[in-house]
Amino acid sequence: MKASAIEFRFRMVIMTTLVVLGYWAPWIEALDLGRRISLLEWLALHLSRAGLLPFGYATAAVIVVGSLFAAVGMILRVWGTAYLGYGTVHHGQMQAGAVMADGPYRYMRNPLYEGGWFMFVAMALLMPPAGALFAVPLLTLFFLRLILAEEAFLENVLGQSYSEYAQAVPRLVPRLRSRLSSAGNKPRWITAILTEVNPIGVFLIMTFLAWTYDEELMLKALLISFGISLVMRAVMPRGKSAPEPA
């Protein structure tokens, strides 16, 4: 069930491939599954046909939910990266220094993976339903495999200190109150914002551009956001990483 070292090293390539396949969904034409529409439109249509909401209100409701998912994803990604550091977040190998007990890591062990999941679900609203049905479950499974691999690695390297941390902090569902005292690490917000351009872009697109109902415009904006994030990661200095949590 755990991801391999190769999967971890090429995690960005694997995630990007799954997202691209989700948007492309070539099986729609191959299996003659009908007209291409976005999951956003599909959900609004089915809410309307079920008599739950008029189509206009149903569309607005789906956009609002998508915006909330994108907001959670952005907050967790930026907050987690601010404490963990660029060098650790985007390293090609698993890192282990000391247990991080600050920021979101006081409340949950894997805020970056959970933030990434919320971001991808928001993005999936622009996929065709058949594409989203393919991409979201596979991305969820891949994230779980990465989490299990990292946690096993950290427990092996850090030993009892990580085991105690894992007992005090839940894996994914956050505690409202932390049992841990702050370790005194300071967040690096500017670095985090520059590093996490993509989740910020997804939030802005779902919160503002979605109301134009122009799916082509939103897809172009997603590509631009992703492209900018790649440029920022390429130019970011590879400084000293923060201690590694899960």
What is residue 82's predicted lDDT score, i.e. its pLDDT? 94
Q: Is the pLDDT of residue 242 over 50?
A: no
pLDDT tens digit string along 64-75? Answer: 999 999 999 999
Q: Whole-prediction pTM value?
A: 0.92
- The mean-pLDDT minimum among 17-21, 26-30, 133-137, 238-242 falls in 238-242
**Phi, psi at 110, each rounded to 5°:** -130, 60
Between residues 214 and 237, the one the model is more confident about: 214
Q: What is the mean pLDDT of the chain?
A: 90
What is residue 93's predicted lDDT score, i.e. its pLDDT? 67
pLDDT tens digit string along 73-107? Answer: 999 999 999 998 887 777 666 665 667 788 999 99
What is residue 147's predicted lDDT score, i.e. its pLDDT? 96
Burial class (CB in 10 A: 0-12, 13-18, 19+), 235: exposed
- Distance between CA 36 and CA 132 in Å, rounded? 12
Q: Is the pLDDT of residue 198 over 60?
A: yes
Going by pLDDT thresholds of 50, 70 and 90, the confidence category of residue 200 is very high
What is residue 2's predicted lDDT score, i.e. its pLDDT? 86
Residue spans of the domains in the chain: they are 5-26+40-235
- Distance between CA 198 and CA 233 in Å, rounded? 11
Tokens in use for 45? 């249509």
With pLDDT > 70 as the criterion, what percentage of the chain qualifies?
A: 93
Contact criterion met (CB below 8 Å) for 139 and 21:
no
Amino acid at site 74: M
- The helix (run of H) or strand (run of E) holding residue 246 is none
DSSP-based three-state secondary structure for 40 = helix
Concatenated DSSP letters for 53-109? Answer: S-HHHHHHHHHHHHHHHHHHHHHHHHHHHHHH-HHHHT-SS---SS---SGGGGT-S
DSSP-based three-state secondary structure for 25 = coil
pLDDT tens digit string along 118-153? Answer: 999 999 999 999 999 999 999 999 999 999 999 999
